[in-house]
């Protein structure tokens, strides 16, 4: 289905290289058992793809993308050429149904990415197994092991096939390679000098990746800098997700066994304590049976689901429902889903094959009837990741004929695709929810990945790594061993894609630690005040492919943006190691065009270092200059227990003029616009109805906010509007603040 759609959008763009025997190519003698990729199709401006082997029975991640490629935006990106000699990519399809591909790398080339990895952004010199799984398995197995990597030479490679992928990143040396390092004697006599130190892991000169399958689609994404490569990847998959505004408010998941009255009491407590709240997440106890699930309301806890949902909506509170996909015998879907499900059960529940239209119809009709029709806003899709012993075995079969392996790699994506498309988009309603697995081509889905892991430093790393591969991630807060840890975790959550407290087991409240209650409230309030800025950051994700939260390697002035190319010319000083450490830092990250966030994150941490990119930076709260390209130390004392937040030279930041306790109050709310530094800056504030897909028909506008010098001295803010003037989301600018005097 989607391939047809894809092909329609790619007219007349097929570019075929006459590669075999081309000048400068790798000669057949060099290739051993490998062959060069015969032809590359230009899939879009700066994007090429090649099919290795037979793809007819294989599933591509891009076929499951939320929307077709944004060709018009891709075509407006700067010119980009194929980033290296295409003759150098070689492959082999073996009779035993394996595909191997080999992509040469330079000795000083560094690789980043491979999905939501929590142990660091740099993935050179590593062997990885890219299987969907719980994070705790490591070695590449994770909730979103997206087979997409970025090279420091300024390109990206995507293995666009839903198969387990074993990948050797610059590990291993072929005997016929011309670029192996010299052999070194490990135990030489003293008078025999060696060409260098003996290395346990001699550097490899390629990425070698292997799948079990008949075919593999390889894609190359070019870019003049790494952010442009990521933009192309996201735009090819339909752009990024644009959540409804309410999704960017504060989320609280209550204890798994709460009933309607307990939820009511909890909400009253939020009010009494003056804490923002937008979404309540109900955990498994809302259902008659869970693990496996019925998807039907437990009337002992929720006697009147429709009345309850409407009562909350009347207070501006949305409900989000937890579910896992495995269907209980007690569910009214069981009988009809039985023939449409796989050979094996999960927690004794059926595993529906959601590549089948009938299975999709059955589930979405039931969900509409029981949930959406009464006002439920979305879902948290649990348990679509692992472990091997919990989910179906690799030899399971599915009625559509899709392999168990492809199903495992794509089940989280399939669920997102089905719910988003068949339940919400179909009714012109936006949703925002959670999912525990994703994979390639997912950028357009309004679902945020979460985990049962809980290392705060790793959670921060996830913000950076997810930004490279079209994935949204929440470092949700669940519990803490100290007041300080609680504050640090809540602050990180508030500066992420989803500001969520998940109390499903701990029963925690934002105010559970009295000594930091005010500081926690203030963190949530900043989240709320920054809603105009957040919403535009997501609009940039959707329309331009720019991730709303970004790893520092994507940032100019940090050695990772424009200054990354040519290879080896890393920014940040003469010592290349120091420069690399700078750009690979993952305990700080960017939000939107100009905010740098550096949370405190060790259990008792109240002090940390922040590495500033080149260019002048300012303290968000005071507007004072803090540095230019250097490493600074910040303390929670000096910041009055607020999260460290820095702003780029010339930045213009729109916020609500006062804190609100609900996103609904942000609509029409007056703005404060802050300006930092000396350069006359601007901000294009995006607005639409923030709840439907009408923006796809042009129902949106851009408020262009520009700082100007006024005659006779001083500065002012000028505003002009482009687009549909009738649209209005936020209120007028009430206050313009010059932050740096
Ligand atoms: C876990 C999930 C938790 C919570 C719990 C409920 O699998 O990661 O966030 O939803 O299930 O049983």
3-state class of 9 per DSSP? helix
DSSP H or E run through 408: helix 404-418
Once rounded to an integer, what is the mean pLDDT over residues 456-484? 97
Helices (H), 43-163: 71-76
Ligand 1 centre and the CA of 208: distance in Å? 36
Do 206 and 102 meet the contact criterion of CB atoms below 8 Å apart? yes
451 Cβ below 6 A of ligand 1: no
**Closest residue by CA, ligand 1 atom 5:** 504
281 Cβ below 6 A of ligand 1: no
Q: In whole angstroms, give the CA distance from residue 631 to residue 614.
A: 11
Ligand 1 centre and the CA of 284: distance in Å? 8
**Which ligand 1 atom sits nearest the alpha carbon of residue 436?**
8
**Which ligand 1 atom sits nearest the alpha carbon of residue 452?**
8
284 Cβ below 6 A of ligand 1: yes
**Closest residue by CA, ligand 1 atom 4:** 504
pLDDT at 506 over 80: yes
Domains and CATH numbers, the chain: 1-33 (no CATH), 40-181+197-236 (2.60.40.1760), 245-544 (3.20.20.80), 652-741 (no CATH)
452 Cβ below 6 A of ligand 1: yes
**pLDDT of the residue at 437:** 98
Residues 6+ apart with CB under 8 A from 575: none
- CA torsion 181-187-189-192 (nearest 10°) is 10
Q: Count Cβ atoms within 10 A of the Cβ of residue 274 and give its class: 0-12 exposed, 13-18 middle, 19 or more buried.
A: exposed
Residue for token pair 């009738």? 726
pLDDT bucket at 31, cuts 50 / 70 / 90:
low
502 Cβ below 6 A of ligand 1: yes
pLDDT bucket at 557, cuts 50 / 70 / 90:
low
Ligand 1 centre and the CA of 54: distance in Å? 39
Output DSSP code: residue 26.
Answer: P
3-state class of 421 per DSSP? helix
Lowest mean pLDDT among 13-27, 273-287, 344-358: 13-27
pLDDT bucket at 470, cuts 50 / 70 / 90:
very high
Do 114 and 573 meet the contact criterion of CB atoms below 8 Å apart? no
518 Cβ below 6 A of ligand 1: no
CA angle 49, 542, 417 (to 5 degrees): 70
Q: Tokens in use for 529? A: 């005040």
Ligand 1 centre and the CA of 451: distance in Å? 9
Let me know how long the chain is: 741
pLDDT at 578 over 60: no
pLDDT digits (tens, 9 = 90+) for 91-126: 999 999 999 999 999 988 999 999 999 999 999 999
Ligand 1 centre and the CA of 383: distance in Å? 8
Ligand 1 centre and the CA of 229: distance in Å? 35
- CA torsion 487-492-495-496 (nearest 10°) is -140
Ligand 1 centre and the CA of 452: distance in Å? 7
Ligand 1 centre and the CA of 512: distance in Å? 21
pLDDT digits (tens, 9 = 90+) for 46-75: 999 999 999 999 999 999 999 999 999 999
**pLDDT of the residue at 28:** 39
Q: Count Cβ atoms within 10 A of the Cβ of residue 186 and give its class: 0-12 exposed, 13-18 middle, 19 or more buried.
A: exposed
Once rounded to an integer, what is the mean pLDDT over residues 624-645? 96
**Closest residue by CA, ligand 1 atom 12:** 284
Ligand 1 centre and the CA of 293: distance in Å? 13
Ligand 1 centre and the CA of 225: distance in Å? 39
Map 4-48 to HEC letters. HHHHHHCCCCCCCCCCCCCCCCCCHHHHCCCEECCCCEEEECCEE
pLDDT bucket at 32, cuts 50 / 70 / 90:
confident
pLDDT at 1 over 80: no
How far, CA to CA in Å, does 627 sit from each of 356, 623, 630, 632, 722? 57, 12, 6, 8, 35
**pLDDT of the residue at 558:** 56
pTM attached to this predicted model: 0.94
Q: In whole angstroms, give the CA distance from residue 589 to residue 587.
A: 7
152 Cβ below 6 A of ligand 1: no
Output DSSP code: residue 630.
Answer: S
Residue for token pair 């209005």? 728
Ligand 1 centre and the CA of 501: distance in Å? 13
Q: In whole angstroms, give the CA distance from residue 663 to residue 665.
A: 5
- CA torsion 218-228-132-142 (nearest 10°) is 140
Q: In whole angstroms, give the CA distance from residue 194 to residue 30.
A: 28
**pLDDT of the residue at 17:** 26
453 Cβ below 6 A of ligand 1: no
**Which ligand 1 atom sits nearest the alpha carbon of residue 478?**
9
How far, CA to CA in Å, does 705 sit from each of 380, 543, 547, 741? 37, 19, 22, 20
Residues 6+ apart with CB under 8 A from 8: none
Pocket test for ligand 1, best of 322, 433, 478, 493 (most atoms within 8 A of CB): 322
pLDDT bucket at 13, cuts 50 / 70 / 90:
very low
């Amino acid at each position: 289905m989607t391939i047809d759609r894809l092909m329609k959008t790619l007219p007349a763009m097929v570019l075929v290289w006459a590669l075999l025997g081309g000048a400068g190519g790798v000669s057949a003698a060099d290739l051993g058992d490998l062959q060069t990729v015969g032809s590359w199709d230009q899939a879009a401006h700066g994007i090429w793809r090649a099919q290795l082997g037979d793809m007819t029975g294989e599933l591509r991640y891009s076929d499951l993308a939320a929307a077709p490629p944004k060709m018009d935006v891709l075509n407006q990106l700067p010119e980009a050429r194929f980033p290296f000699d295409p003759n150098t990519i070689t492959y082999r399809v073996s009779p035993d149904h394996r595909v191997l591909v080999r992509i040469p790398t330079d000795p000083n080339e560094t690789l980043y990415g491979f999905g939501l990895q929590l142990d660091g952004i740099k993935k050179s010199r590593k062997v990885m197994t890219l299987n969907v799984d719980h994070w705790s398995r490591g070695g590449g197995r994770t909730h979103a092991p997206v087979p997409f990597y970025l090279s420091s030479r300024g390109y990206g490679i995507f293995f666009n096939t839903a198969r387990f992928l074993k990948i050797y990143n610059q590990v291993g040396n072929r005997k016929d390679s011309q670029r192996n390092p010299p052999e070194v004697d490990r135990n030489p006599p003293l008078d025999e000098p060696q060409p260098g130190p003996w290395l346990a892991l001699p550097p490899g000169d390629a990425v070698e990746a292997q799948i079990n399958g008949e075919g593999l689609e390889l894609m190359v994404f070019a870019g003049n800098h790494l952010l442009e490569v990521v933009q192309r990847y996201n735009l090819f998959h339909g752009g990024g997700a644009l959540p409804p505004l309410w999704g960017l408010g504060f989320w609280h998941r209550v204890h798994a066994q709460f009933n309607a009255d307990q939820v009511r009491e909890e909400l009253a407590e939020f009010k009494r304590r003056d804490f923002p709240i937008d979404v309540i997440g109900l955990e498994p106890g809302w259902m008659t049976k869970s693990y496996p699930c019925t998807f039907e309301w437990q009337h002992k806890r929720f006697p009147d689901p429709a009345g309850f949902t409407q009562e909350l909506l009347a207070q501006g509170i949305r409900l989000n429902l937890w579910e896992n996909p495995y269907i209980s015998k007690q569910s009214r879907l069981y009988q009809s889903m039985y023939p449409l499900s796989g050979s094996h059960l999960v927690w004794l529940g059926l595993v529906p094959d959601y590549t089948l239209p009938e299975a999709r119809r059955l589930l979405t009709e039931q969900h509409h009837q029981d949930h959406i029709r009464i006002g439920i806003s979305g879902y948290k899709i649990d348990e679509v990741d692992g472990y091997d012993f919990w989910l179906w075995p690799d030899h399971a079969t599915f009625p559509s004929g899709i392999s168990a392996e492809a199903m495992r790699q794509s089940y989280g994506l399939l669920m997102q695709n089905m719910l988003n498309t068949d339940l919400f988009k179909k009714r012109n309603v936006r949703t925002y929810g959670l999912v525990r697995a994703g994979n390639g081509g997912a950028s357009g889905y309004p679902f945020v990945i979460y985990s049962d892991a809980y290392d705060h430093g790793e959670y921060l790393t996830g913000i950076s790594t997810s930004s490279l591969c079209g994935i949204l991630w929440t470092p949700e807060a669940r519990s803490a061993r100290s007041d300080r840890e609680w504050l640090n975790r809540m602050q990180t959550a508030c500066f992420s894609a989803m500001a969520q407290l998940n109390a499903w087991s701990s029963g925690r409240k934002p105010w559970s630690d009295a000594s930091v209650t005010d500081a926690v409230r203030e963190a949530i309030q900043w989240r709320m005040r920054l809603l105009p800025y957040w919403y535009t950051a997501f609009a940039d994700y959707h329309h331009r492919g720019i991730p709303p939260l970004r790893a520092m390697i994507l940032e100019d002035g940090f050695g990772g943006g424009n200054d990354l190319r040519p290879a080896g010319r890393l920014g940040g000083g003469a010592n290349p190691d120091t420069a690399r450490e700078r750009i690979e830092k993952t305990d700080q990250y960017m939000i939107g065009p100009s905010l740098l966030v550096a949370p405190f994150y060790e259990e008792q941490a109240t002090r940390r270092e922040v590495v500033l990119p080149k260019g002048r930076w300012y303290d968000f709260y005071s507007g004072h200059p803090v540095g230019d390209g250097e490493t600074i130390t910040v303390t929670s004392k000096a910041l009055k227990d607020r999260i460290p937040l820095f702003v780029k030279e010339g930045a213009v930041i729109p916020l609500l003029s006062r804190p609100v306790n609900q996103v609904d109050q942000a609509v029409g709310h007056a703005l404060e616009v802050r300006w930092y530094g000396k350069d006359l800056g601007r901000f294009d504030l995006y607005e639409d109805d923030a709840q439907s897909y009408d923006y796809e028909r042009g129902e949106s506008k851009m408020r262009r906010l520009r700082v100007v010098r006024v005659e006779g001295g001083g500065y002012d803010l000028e505003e002009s509007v482009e687009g549909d003037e009738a649209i209005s989301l936020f209120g007028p600018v009430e206050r313009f603040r010059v932050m740096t005097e």
